[in-house]
Amino acid sequence: MKKRNIVLIIILTAVLTLTLNVFLGGYIRAKISQIPQLARFDFFNSEAPIVITRREVVRADDGTDVIDAINSAKAKMAAVVAVSNGQTVRTGNAISITSDGSFVTTSTAFAAPQAATYAVILSDGRIAPVEERLVDPATDLVFFKANVDNVAVASFGSSKELNVGQRVVMIEQTLKDFTPIATPVFVSVAQHDTYEQEYEANKPSRTYGIENVTYAVSGAALVTLSGDIVGMSDAHRLIAGDIMKRSISLYLADELKRPDFGFAYDLISPVRGKLLGLPEGVRVLRVAGSSAADKAGLQGNDIITAIGEQKVVGDVSFEEILENYKIGETIPFTITRGQKTLILNLTPTELK
With cut-offs at 50, 70 and 90, classify the pLDDT of residue 53.
very low
Residue 33 pLDDT > 50: no
Residue 96 CA, chain-centre distance (Å), reads: 17
Q: How would you classify residue 338: left for phi > 0, otherwise alpha for psi between -120 and 50, otherwise beta?
A: left
3-state helix, strand, coil in the chain (%, to 5): 25, 35, 40
Residue 106 pLDDT > 60: yes
Whole-number pLDDT of residue 39: 45
Strands annotated E in 40-158: 50-52, 57-59, 77-84, 87-96, 102-106, 117-122, 127-135, 141-146
Question: 253-269 pLDDT, tens per residue?
Answer: 999 999 999 999 999 98
Q: How would you classify residue 233: left for phi > 0, otherwise alpha for psi between -120 and 50, otherwise beta?
A: beta
Whole-number pLDDT of residue 19: 56
Of all residues in the chain, what percent carry a pLDDT higher than 70? Answer: 79
Within 13 Å of residue 325, how many CA atoms lie on the same side as its CB? 26
Give the closest residue to 219 by CA, choosing from 113, 91, 133.
Answer: 91
Beta strands 50-52 and 340-346: pairing type?
unpaired
Beta strands 77-84 and 87-96: pairing type?
antiparallel
Give the closest residue to 292 by CA, choosing from 233, 349, 221.
Answer: 349
Distance CA 352, CA 350 (A): 6
With cut-offs at 50, 70 and 90, classify the pLDDT of residue 55.
very low
Query: DSSP assignment of 91-121, as one string?
Result: EEEEEE-STTSEEEEEGGGG--TT--EEEEE
What's the start-to-end Cα distance of the chain, in Å? 88
Whole-number pLDDT of residue 18: 58
With cut-offs at 50, 70 and 90, classify the pLDDT of residue 7.
low
Residue 64 pLDDT > 50: yes
225 touches 69 (CB < 8 A): yes
Give the closest residue to 216 by CA, choosing from 180, 188, 166, 179.
Answer: 180
Give the range among 244-248, 264-268, 314-318 with minimum mean pLDDT: 314-318
* Cα distances (angstroms) measured from residue 232 to each of 110, 169, 218, 338: 15, 11, 8, 41
160: three-class secondary structure by DSSP: helix
Whole-number pLDDT of residue 102: 97
Looking at residues 190-210, what average pLDDT do you find? 85
For the full predicted model, state whether its pTM sits above 0.85: no
Write the DSSP symbol of residue 161.
G
Residue 195 pLDDT > 70: no
β-strand partners of 207: 192
